[in-house]
Every structure is written in structure tokens, then in C-alpha cells.
Chain A
Amino acid sequence: MPFDKKHILGLGELSAEEIKIILDTAESMKEISTRDVKKVPTLKGRTVVNLFFEPSTRTRSSFEIAEKRLSADVLNFSASQSSVVKGESLVDTARNFEAMGASIMVIRHGMSGAPFVLAREIGASVINAGDGSHEHPSQALIDIFTIREKKGRIEGLNVLIVGDILNSRVARSNIFGLRKLGANVRIAGPATIVPEYFRDMGAEIFYSLEHAIENVDVVIMLRIQSERKTLEYFPSLREYSGLYGLTREKLSLAKEDVIVMHPGPINRGVELTSEIADDPGAVILEQVANGIAVRMAMIYLVALGESL
């Protein structure tokens, strides 16, 4: 089955089959980064715009490297230094880039649903690089890709996601994707940020990290996002890290070959101890390296699906 999506807006929108095509394509893309010349000519002459309405260094850099390795021309737009300040709307901004010949737009926006509006209103292909607290498909695909690479499969694995599930677009995308591919997903954190309705997405809810971590193959630690007011949901950071911070002792309750993931940036001593962040079982930097391959696959596939 070919991949015929013009946009990648979220894992909620993709079938298990489509997710697998992205992962398989990323596997082929990964080889390119091992070459002397880390570039293929595929998107020569095509223009990609990175529309970032929220600050981001790693996601934007990762997308930019991915675009350049496919030989696309890259334009970077960030909201702070732009026409948004002058009152231009999202769709008008995008239409301007389209008029300049951009055929793919990678968008990060603070409002959930913004990439969907864009996809409806413009002709270019749209990739969601994070919208509000809704989805962050590229990060989840990286996580799933890394898990598959380490464990050889997704189906039947026990995956635990810990932290601010309520405000996390990474968690939502991961739950969608992991469930579609047949993993068992557990979520854990304080009740204020681990809402009941996640049960409907197929996740098992825990309020005790010690219980949740038993027998898991993968632990994904979410960042405490102080800029998203996460701190208002529990008494103190110290209490949070005491209850939900990952220590070697808690990790010993998981499977012996457990891997620890984190979308970054890490708050050392809050979500996990330095000891764990630097442990060989932690694949955090491999996630970053895989990020380029996965994003190359996403851009390549929407370019192929782009309307003729």
C-alpha cells in the first residue's frame, strides 16, 4: 500500500499501516546520515518553510537538517521577529510563503488545531511540529522508531509514560501511535495531570510510579513544562520528583532490559536522576539522532503525496 497522505497532522489521523510506512522509510533514511556526503538530491528545487509560532531549538533544527539532507531549500520563520507582531493572521502568513513557491510547511503553534486550519486553507503540504496540547507526531514517531529499533517490535510491549499527560502533546501522539501498533500503554503521574479520559484512548492509569513501572519494557519520561504552568498542578517540584522522578531504585522494578526515553530537554534531578540520564539504558541521544531520519521520512512522504 502506498502512502498517499498530503499532510501529516497527527498520529490520530494515520492508520497503523501508514505509521509503519513512515517507520520503514525512516530506516532507509537513517543510512544517509552515515555517509560521507550526508545528502540526497530528492527535493532539489523544492522549498520548505518552517513556521514556528512557539520557541523551539531542537525540533526546528532537526527539521531543518532533515530538509537540507533531502536537498530542499529551507526558509525559517519565527513568530517573535515577524509579521505576526504586525497583526497578520496565520493563514495570510502561510499564503505569502505559498506565493513565494513553498510547497511544504512545517508548523508549530500554541493553539491546538492550527495545522489543521492551515491544511484546509492552503494548497501546500502541512506537517504538524506540535500544536498546543494536542499532538506532536514527529516526536512520537521518533519514540516509536527508537523503541522498534531497540526491541525489534512494538506489538505486545508494555510502555509507560510518566508526567504531565494532560498538557503533553508528545503523550497524546504516543498513545495514539503505540496503541495502533499494538503496545500496552500505561500512564502515571499526579491525578491532577493524569485525567481519567485517557482511559478512552486505551491507556491504563496509575497514580503510583512504583506500581506502574512493574514489568515495563519502555519508560518515557515527560518533561515538566514550567512554561505551560504544569507547576500549578502539584504542591512543589520537590514533591513531584520525590514521587514521580525516576531513580535507579524505581527503575529496578521494570524489566531488566528496560529502555528509558525522554523527548528533551531534560530537567536533571526532576524527571530523572543524572545517573539514569547517563546510563546506557537511556536512549535519549539516540532519539535525537533518529529524529533526523524520521523527519526526513515525513517530509519525503508528504512531498510524494503532494497534489500534482
Chain B
Amino acid sequence: METKKKVQPIEDRSESFFSGIIDDIPPESLSSLIVIGIKTRGEYLGKRLVERISERTGKDVTFGTIDITLYRDDFENRKNWPQLRRTSIPDDVQGKNIILVDDVLYTGRTVRAAINSIMDYGRPASVKLAVLVDRGGRELPVQPDYAGINIETLDDEMVNVYLEEVDGREEIEITRKDAV
């Protein structure tokens, strides 16, 4: 097994990603906005989005995180499930406008699980999806409202986003496992 690796910097593309989202938020709806990051990397991107919103508008927006593990649809793969982390949505989601943030959008199954999870907390007015990287390859009818970077990938490639807060570097890494 040989692994090929391509690395691509994120640079300031995450900043234009955030400002694109903020431009799209009507100022009057800031008070009903909740940003929810999908653990793990989505949590850090969500936090950055909340910071940028506060810098630009002076308003503090509610921030929450979700762990979708308990909503996964691949019980047969459970040996690879990660250690459960805590979901924390500090505010009532009923009637709120939610922006769901994740690092990479691929099959759409994580987003499906995240939406189901949010619905168990109440009925939001709307849910929008923001992803830093859209790598294609959808298996469910899920499309992002905001995507920072679009990458063409193959099924046997893995796309990982590394962020300063957790990984100490800002990079998108595409690895491919070639059978020898």
C-alpha cells in the first residue's frame, strides 16, 4: 500500500468564506441566529465564524456544538466509531435560524445526522449549511449554502482539513491509497 499525498494551504480562503456568509445574514436576523459546529473541526470553524460576526457587527451570536455519533447510519461500522463527545446547544432552537458548520462535505450523511439531531431539540425556522471544503461525492440530496473551496476528488481519496486550534497548522490534505 502506497500513500500519495497532496497538500494545499487554506490561507485566506477561510476569511472570504466567512465574509461571504456574513454578507448574506440580514442584520435583523442576527438575534435569532445560532451557529452550530459539527465536532471536531466544524466546532473550531463555527467558533471562528461567531468571532468574525462579532467583529463585523458588534453582536454576539449564540454558538453550539453537536456530536453526531449517536445519529450515525452505519452501525455495521461501529468498530470505527469515535469516543462520544458532548453535544451542547445552549439556546432553544425553536423558531431560530441555524447555520450548521463543518469542515468537509462529502457523502452528506454527517449533515443528515446533524439535521436529525437538531430536530430533536425543536423546530428551527431554517437550517443553512456552511462547509469550508466541498469535495463532491454526495450520496444524499444535500447541498451547501456556502462552500469556501471546491475540490474535485476521487472516491478512494481522503480529504482532511487541519486547523491551527487543534492541529497547529492550516492545511487541506488530500491522500490517496493506491493498491500495489
Chain A residues with a Cβ under 8 A of chain B: 2, 21, 24-25, 27-29, 31-32, 35-37, 39-42, 70, 300, 303-304, 308
Q: Are A308 and B86 in contact (CB under 8 A)?
A: no
Q: From residue B168, how far is it (CB to closest CB) to chain A in Å? A: 23
Rank and list the top 9 A-B pairs by shortest CB-CB distance, nearest first. A40-B70, A37-B120, A28-B84, A42-B70, A28-B86, A304-B78, A25-B84, A31-B87, A35-B121
Q: From residue B10, how far is it (CB to closest CB) to chain A in Å? A: 30
Task: From B71, B75, B86, B116, give the contact of A31 (CB < 8 A).
Answer: B86
Q: Are A27 and B76 in contact (CB under 8 A)?
A: no
A308 to B120, CA, bound (A): 29
Residue among B75, B81, B116 with max Cβ neighbours from chain A (10 Å)? B75
A285 to B87, CA, bound (A): 24
Q: From residue A64, how far is it (CB to closest CB) to chain B in Å? A: 19
Please give, as numbers and ranges, the residues of chain B lying within 8 Å of A24 by CB-CB distance: 83-84
**Per-position 1/0 for B75-114, Cβ under 8 A of A:** 1101101011111100000000000000000000000000
Contact residues on B (Cβ < 8 Å of other chain), bracket: 20 to 34
B122 within 8 A of A: yes
B67 within 8 A of A: yes
Q: From residue A258, how far is it (CB to closest CB) to chain B in Å? A: 28
Q: Are B121 and A28 in contact (CB under 8 A)?
A: no
Please give, as numbers and ranges, the residues of chain A lying within 8 Å of B84 by CB-CB distance: 24-25, 28-29, 300
Please give, as numbers and ranges, the residues of chain A lying within 8 Å of B117 by CB-CB distance: 40
A300 to B84, CA, bound (A): 10
Q: Are B121 and A37 in contact (CB under 8 A)?
A: yes
Q: Are A28 and B116 in contact (CB under 8 A)?
A: no
Please give, as numbers and ranges, the residues of chain A lying within 8 Å of B72 by CB-CB distance: 42
A70 to B78, CA, bound (A): 15
Q: Are A304 and B120 in contact (CB under 8 A)?
A: no
A25 to B83, CA, bound (A): 7
A41 to B76, CA, bound (A): 15
Known: A36-B120, A40-B120. 18 other contacts (CB 8 A): A2-B83, A21-B83, A24-B84, A25-B83, A25-B84, A28-B67, A28-B86, A35-B120, A36-B121, A37-B120, A41-B70, A41-B116, A42-B71, A300-B70, A300-B84, A304-B78, A304-B79, A308-B79
A235 to B166, CA, bound (A): 63
Please give, as numbers and ranges, the residues of chain A lying within 8 Å of B122 by CB-CB distance: 36
A31 in contact with B88 given A36-B120, A37-B121, A40-B70 (CB within 8 Å): yes
A308 to B79, CA, bound (A): 9
A303 to B78, CA, bound (A): 9
Residue among B75, B79, B84, B122 with max Cβ neighbours from chain A (10 Å)? B84
- In the complex, chain B residues 52-73 whose Cβ is within 8 Å of any chain A Cβ: 67, 70-72
A296 to B51, CA, bound (A): 36
A27 in contact with B120 given A304-B78, A304-B81, A308-B79 (CB within 8 Å): no
Q: From residue B87, how far is it (CB to closest CB) to chain A in Å? A: 6
A41 to B86, CA, bound (A): 16
Q: Are B83 and A39 in contact (CB under 8 A)?
A: no
A40 in contact with B71 given A28-B85, A31-B87 (CB within 8 Å): yes
Please give, as numbers and ranges, the residues of chain B lying within 8 Å of A28 by CB-CB distance: 67, 84-87
Q: From residue B170, how far is it (CB to closest CB) to chain A in Å? A: 29
A304 to B81, CA, bound (A): 8
Q: From residue A101, how far is it (CB to closest CB) to chain B in Å? A: 15
Please give, as numbers and ranges, the residues of chain B lying within 8 Å of A36 by CB-CB distance: 120-122
Residue among B78, B116, B121 with max Cβ neighbours from chain A (10 Å)? B78
Please give, as numbers and ranges, the residues of chain A lying within 8 Å of B116 by CB-CB distance: 41
A2 to B121, CA, bound (A): 29
Q: Are A41 and B71 in contact (CB under 8 A)?
A: yes
**Chain A to chain B contacts (Cβ below 8 Å), 22 pairs:** A2-B79, A21-B83, A27-B86, A28-B84, A28-B85, A28-B86, A31-B86, A32-B70, A35-B120, A35-B121, A36-B121, A36-B122, A37-B121, A39-B120, A41-B70, A41-B116, A42-B70, A42-B72, A42-B75, A304-B78, A308-B76, A308-B79
